[in-house]
Amino acid sequence: PGGHVHEDFAIVQAVDPRTGREVPDGTWGNLVVTTLGRDNALVRYDLEEAVLVLRQPCGCGETTMRAFWGGRFKDFLDVQGRYFNLSELERALRKVSAVTVPSLEYVVVKPTDPSAPLRVRVELADGDRTTTADACRAAIADRLGVVADVEIVDRESLARSGYKAVRLVDA
């Protein structure tokens, strides 16, 4: 698993977004790239994408570094001692079929206290709100290992933006 990185073309690093220092293999960090080509050199260009780097040989026999991409750090949450990407939360919510019809629409209220329950608002077109909220809470606990406060709201009640959905909102 992971994409092989052509290390002869670029230096790829995973760095701590707060310090800019390289993190150990197997730890999520910001993707930073250095290329020294004549036409378009980049020196420690921070793409602000989450990446995890592994340097041990791959099962396929390839010996170059492997990288796993995980979205943007601005979409990562620190909740109850767990650090996860919003895409992981979305995978959990997609297990609850009632909230996926006609499409899954949700927002997460930015946590101000990392020990508090994760606050999630989820739209529901049709169905029992209590049962659906319980199912969402269970799916989140099962996938992420965190306690969530799930608020079921009417369809079309969450704010919509342009092309890309805003999933993380201020309290």
Residues 63 and 91 both lie in one domain:
no
Q: What confidence tens digit (pLDDT) does each residue in 74-102 have?
A: 788 889 988 888 888 999 999 999 999 99
Residue 144 is predicted with a pLDDT of 95
Residues 158 and 84 both lie in one domain:
yes
Residue 136 is predicted with a pLDDT of 99
Q: What is the dihedral of CA 89, 120, 107, 139, to 10 degrees?
A: 30
Residues 19 and 70 both lie in one domain:
yes
CA torsion sign for 66, 71, 74, 75 is negative
Sequence-distant (≥ 6) Cβ neighbours of residue 21 within 8 angstroms: 15
Domain of 87, CATH number, reads 3.30.300.30
Q: What confidence tens digit (pLDDT) does each residue in 39-55 have?
A: 888 999 999 899 999 99
CA dist., res. 2 & res. 72, Å (int): 17
Pick from 129, 130, 108: which is nearest to 119 by CA? 108
Residues 22 and 51 both lie in one domain:
yes
Residue span of the structural domain in which 101 resides: 80-169
Domain of 7, CATH number, reads 2.30.38.10
Residues 70 and 99 both lie in one domain:
no
| pTM exceeds 0.85 | no
